[in-house]
Amino acid sequence: MGEEADLGALAIGLGGRRIADPLDRLRRYCGLPWSGGTSETWPYHYYDAIESPDADRIHPIDVLAAGAIHPGLTRGDLAFFHDEADALAAWLASTPADIRLADADDDLLDHLAEVATWDVPVSLALLTKVLQRVRPLLVPIADQHLVDWYRRYTGEGDPVAAWPILLSGLRNDLHYRTTWLVLAMFGARLETELGRAPSTLRRVDILIRMEGVS
């Protein structure tokens, strides 16, 4: 209980703003008891808890799991991930699976930034939700709540325009030792209780996603 209380007292800074009660927010999203009550069902069970079959290709389960945090998958969305499976696998082959965004050099950041320039019929938000499943250490989710949170740096509300600066801002935040250590401690706690904790990048996404939830 003492360790839990100590972790629960920690706050974290992301995007130049402070998030209070971060462990509580993570626990709530992951279906664990939290200060406001007993366990609840959030997309953790349908997105984070389901492991991707491998890191070399996008599989149907990756797209279906992304649907838990991306309402309204269309037939065109499904067709894209099916028809372009080989092209996506080629991109994955040139994108390391073992490097964290915090440790990405500028060349790798440029490589990730190119995703927003692809001429594809799916939104950047959906594309990154699927890619995050197979590159959980490296690819953040370009959802509106994250873009808005970092707008003081990007100056943009449009995910495509904000994407390159968002990548840089997240890298800088995660490179800050205190932030990384706090997130790592939260991950260790969740791993103990769940057996499978969301990646560090996904923890950032969840924290910001849950910031506005009452």
pLDDT of residue 213: 87
What is the amino acid identity at position 98?
D
Integer CA distances (angstroms), 130 to 59, 88, 141, 183, in order = 9, 11, 9, 22
Sign (positive/negative) of CA torsion 160, 165, 168, 170? Answer: negative
pLDDT of 214 > 80? The answer is no
Enter the tokens of residue 15: 């995007």
pLDDT of 4 > 70? The answer is no
Domain ranges within the chain, ordered by starting residue: 2-210
* pLDDT grade for 1, boundaries at 50, 70 and 90: very low
State percent of the chain over pLDDT 70. 96
Helices 22-29, 200-210: axis angle to 10 degrees equals 100
Tally the C-alpha atoms within 13 A of residue 70's C-alpha that lie toward its C-beta: 24
pLDDT in tens, 107-150: 999 999 999 999 999 999 999 999 999 999 999 999 999 999 99
The whole-number average pLDDT for the span 94-104 is 97
Instruction: Label residue 187 exposed, middle or buried (CB < 10 Å: 0-12, 13-18, 19+).
Output: middle
Enter the tokens of residue 70: 């991306």
